[in-house]
């Protein structure tokens, strides 16, 4: 999912209207932003905050609006990536088989390994 200008503006306005204890989690750099907005939406009495959040989830598409109404938090982990100046929210699927144990890189000098 790509954040467009209108989504970024909605996130900034939601951050302005949210309670002070919820503000640290509402950032564009937070990959779990949508999962953190669901409890804020459910527990808020502010009609404008609820309307802004509902509009953001509607623009996000891909079933996010149903998750907001149902109150279910996604089990998937998400990562924000920047590609050619655009911020993207990408699902990060971590498998035990994909983890790679990396050794320390060997120091090289003039084509030979140095201890």
Domain membership flag for residue 70: yes
What's residue 96's pLDDT? 47
What's residue 20's pLDDT? 87
Please give the residue range of the domain that contains residue 36: 5-95
Which tokens go with 96? 């035990």
Q: What is the DSSP string of 56-95?
A: HHHHH-TTHHHHHHHTPPP-SEEEEEEETTEEEEEEE---
Domain membership flag for residue 113: no
Domain membership flag for residue 84: yes
Which mean pLDDT values do the consecutive 10-residue runs of the chain (115 residues) have? Answer: 86 91 86 87 88 89 79 69 79 55 80 85
Which tokens go with 26? 């509402």
Domain membership flag for residue 110: no
Domain count for the chain, please give it.
1
Domain membership flag for residue 72: yes
The answer to whether the Cα torsion of 53, 58, 59, 62 is positive or negative is positive
């Amino acid at each position: 999912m790509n954040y467009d200008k209108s989504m970024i503006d909605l996130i900034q306005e939601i951050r302005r209207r949210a309670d002070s204890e919820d503000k640290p989690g509402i950032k564009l750099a937070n990959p779990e932003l949508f999962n953190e907005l669901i409890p804020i939406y459910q527990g808020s009495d502010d009609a404008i905050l609820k309307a802004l959040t509902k509009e953001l989830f509607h623009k996000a598409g891909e079933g996010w609006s149903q998750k907001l109404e149902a109150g279910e938090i996604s089990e998937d982990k998400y990562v924000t990536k920047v590609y050619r100046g655009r911020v993207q929210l990408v699902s990060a699927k971590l498998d035990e088989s994909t983890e790679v144990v990396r050794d320390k890189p060997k120091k090289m000098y003039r084509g030979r390994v140095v201890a």
